[in-house]
Amino acid sequence: MPRAVRGLLIECDPSIKAMILKYDEERHDYIVEDLDDENHLVIKESQLENLKVRLDQDLDEKIMQLDESESE
């Protein structure tokens, strides 16, 4: 029997979408539907906060790495 999943439509930059797609490859925890090639996804409503936290952590790490490489 089919099950319904509550989802949220999000619009993001292609680089952020690529990160989310990579996360979802691991365990299929985030994405309900990839709507187009550019920047629209339907994600599981229950995973929104987890996704935000994970993106914030990864983006902070990337910014710190850039800052360190520029200071050298």
The pLDDT tens digits along the chain (72 residues) read 888 889 999 999 999 999 999 999 989 999 999 999 889 999 999 999 999 999 999 999 988 888 888 776
5: left (phi over 0), alpha (psi -120 to 50) or beta: beta
φ, ψ at 35 (rounded to 5°):
-85, -30
Q: Is 51 helix (H, G, I), strand (E, B) or coil?
A: helix
* pLDDT value, residue 72: 65
Rounded to whole angstroms, the Cα distance separating 50 from 56 reads: 10
Read off the DSSP letter of residue 36: -
For 8-70, which CATH superfamily applies? Answer: TFB5-like (3.30.70.1220)
pTM: 0.85
Question: H or E segment at 14?
Answer: helix 14-27
